[in-house]
Structure 1
Amino acid sequence: MIVNTKEILVEARKKKYAVAAFNVFNLETAQAAVAVAEKEKQPVILALGERYFPTVDVEGFSALAHAIAAKAKVPIALHLDHAYEKQSIIRAIRCGFSSVMYDGSRFELEENIRHTKEIAEIAHMAGVSIEAEIGSLARGSYSDEEEGDGTLTDPDEAVRFIEETGVDFLAAAIGTVHGMYQGEPNIQIPLLKEINEKVNIPLVLHGGSGTPNEIITESIQFGICKINVNTEVSMAAVNYLHHTEFKEQHLSSITADIQAEMEKVMTKFVRLFANRSN
């Protein structure tokens, strides 16, 4: 069942676990995420990035995601990830996305607030929750995200940003990267702790791929309720294609095997984020 993303994250914050937001862009990625959610009895978020709009029919994909999620016995959300254009957000809202992310991190704070507030008003009128970001993530290896400058989130700016925009959850930049790390990760847990002490909404960690397990577990203790994962899932699928010799296999069997490989990686993350020791 498709539910409002805010519902999922408020519950996660209350019980101190995080929900995996898997980037999806075709049938197999969506099926894999929902299959893992069912198996692990945990909610997941299906996240389609604006950058995939040129190759993915958004309305068709939304219908597909709703049909798959309707069979699930656990909550599933459909999220628009990293959208920069208002029209992309309106398009996603109109075809049934349960949350949207407006990424105004390229702007100075004042302009980011102004744009984000407008988008938040549009989303809330439609009953859709909204994520936004201040600070930005640098891009590591194997990522298809845009390059960010790596600016960390200022806790006081986060408070002001939330108060003036009315966003429902906030992506906090604490040193993670989009993609895989080049060198040792330098992730600022004390900064996250300070942000969490000052704000009262769920926090989001972008850049789950390659982040050490102990950092993930600690970040959940300090307010992270949604963790985005894309690159490690993609790498598992591509690695399978690189190292498998195909002779007379039918495409249908190859895509089924790719889905199985992605499910293995997704299961690892869902179990880690569930934080079941608490």
Structure 2
Amino acid sequence: MSIRPLPDLLGPAIEGGYGVLALNVFDDLTLRTAIETAETQRAPIVIQTSVKTVRALGARKLAGMFARSASDSTMPVSLHLDHCPYREVITECITNGWNSVLFDASHLKLNEATQQTAEVVAEAHANGVHVEGEVEGIQGVEDGIGSDGAPTVYSDDKIVDFIETTQVDCFAPAIGNAHGLYKAAPTLDVDRVRRLFARTKVPMALHGGSGLTMAQFHELISAGCAKVNISTALKRTFVSSHREYLGDHTDSAEPLALIAHVRGQVAECVREHIELFAGAGDLR
């Protein structure tokens, strides 16, 4: 199966009642380990890149890294650009082989957001690329994108109109979720996910997944969140695994041993989330 468009991953997830892990990677180690772990778990995976990562590594180089790691996978793998308000970066990723992009229009008034998102969809679809839409914003700052202020939440009717007008392939609703670490247990509006999915049949994307409970994941996935984003949990695992190894091996000068330890911890983080979303097993 290897590299596939986003709907090829989300459609079966909706039908099968599981969630697809959408993981924000930031280097070759996390990218390769994520794809290899998904392979061993017999699970699809969305490899996500932030604007910050695209700018740091370069779109062409990052796309090449993905292609080399994903081309031999027997499971569906897709490359997705996460939260991006910049049209020029959207175009750059479309041109360089991303399978889908999230155009974050939450900084715009709804009319302007609808118009620009429709333009992005037209550009993307003409190139065989799919689009995730966002107009309400997800609270919290991630890789320099977003705001800690409360997001604007529109009526269901306005969101349905946005989805139908723009023809986005996936939508990220604001439901009380937030990026980063939750300071208190969030109250999530699962019914809103259920209503929007029932009216549009467009898969919903759950942002701010790090730190939610198994019950919350399962309820949201059953409501229509086929795509479940994880970023903070991976970052914390990556950093803490370095600290852990170096703390236990203060005199070590073996980089390969350090890398092996980090890869093991990253793989465990990926495996845990795939199993948490009921995505493991040869169901595809």
Q: TM-score range by the shorter chain?
A: over 0.9
- Is 1:114 the counterpart of 2:115? The answer is yes
Partners of 1:205 and 1:56 lie apart in 2 by: 26
- The SS at the match of 1:117 is helix
**Map of 1:154-233 to 2, 5 A cutoff?**
154-233=155-234
- The SS at the match of 1:45 is strand
Aligned-partner residue type, residue 203 of structure 1: M
- The structural deviation recorded for 1:207 is 0.8
Q: Is the 8 A contact 1:208 1:228 kept in 2?
A: yes
**Aligned position for 2:99:** 98
Q: Structure 1 stretch 187-196 or stretch 98-107: which is displaced more?
A: 187-196
- The SS at the match of 1:71 is coil
- The SS at the match of 1:52 is helix
Q: Is the 8 A contact 1:137 1:151 kept in 2?
A: no
- The structural deviation recorded for 1:143 is 7.0
**Map of 1:41-80 to 2, 5 A cutoff?**
41-80=42-81
Q: Structure 1 stretch 15-24 or stretch 191-200: which is displaced more?
A: 191-200
Residue by residue, what CA displacement relative to the aligned partner does 1:192-245 show, whole Å, maximum 9, x if unpaired? 222222221111001110011101000111111001101011111111222332
- Which of residues 234, 246, 253 in structure 2 aligns to 1:249? 253
| Structure 1: gaps spanning 5 or more residues | none
Q: Is the 8 A contact 1:152 1:175 kept in 2?
A: no
- The SS at the match of 1:172 is coil
Partners of 2:188 and 2:24 lie apart in 1 by: 22
- The structural deviation recorded for 1:52 is 2.0
Aligned-partner residue type, residue 98 of structure 1: N
Q: Is the 8 A contact 1:19 1:270 kept in 2?
A: yes
Q: Is the 8 A contact 2:20 2:279 kept in 1?
A: no
Moved over 6 A (4+): none
Partners of 1:20 and 1:156 lie apart in 2 by: 29
Partners of 1:167 and 1:54 lie apart in 2 by: 25
Q: CA RMSD in A?
A: 1.9
- Is 1:269 the counterpart of 2:273? The answer is yes
Aligned-partner residue type, residue 147 of structure 1: S
Percent identity (aligned): 26
| Structure 2: gaps spanning 5 or more residues | none
Partners of 1:126 and 1:143 lie apart in 2 by: 27
Partners of 1:255 and 1:147 lie apart in 2 by: 34
- The structural deviation recorded for 1:67 is 0.8
- The SS at the match of 1:178 is coil
TM-score of the two chains, using structure 1 as the length reference: 0.94
- The SS at the match of 1:54 is helix
Partners of 1:64 and 1:31 lie apart in 2 by: 8
Q: Between Structure 1 and Structure 2, how many residues are aligned? A: 277
Q: Structure 1 stretch 124-133 or stretch 12-21: which is displaced more?
A: 12-21
After superposition, the Cα gap between the structure-2 partners of 1:276 and 1:64, relative to the gap in structure 1 and judged at 3 Å, is closer
- The structural deviation recorded for 1:275 is 5.7
Partners of 1:111 and 1:90 lie apart in 2 by: 18
Aligned-partner residue type, residue 254 of structure 2: H
Q: Is the 8 A contact 2:274 2:280 kept in 1?
A: no
Q: Structure 1 stretch 116-125 or stretch 84-93: which is displaced more?
A: 84-93
TM-score of the two chains, using structure 2 as the length reference: 0.92
Residue by residue, what CA displacement relative to the aligned partner does 1:78-136 show, whole Å, maximum 9, x if unpaired? 11111111111111111111111100011121111011000000000001111011212
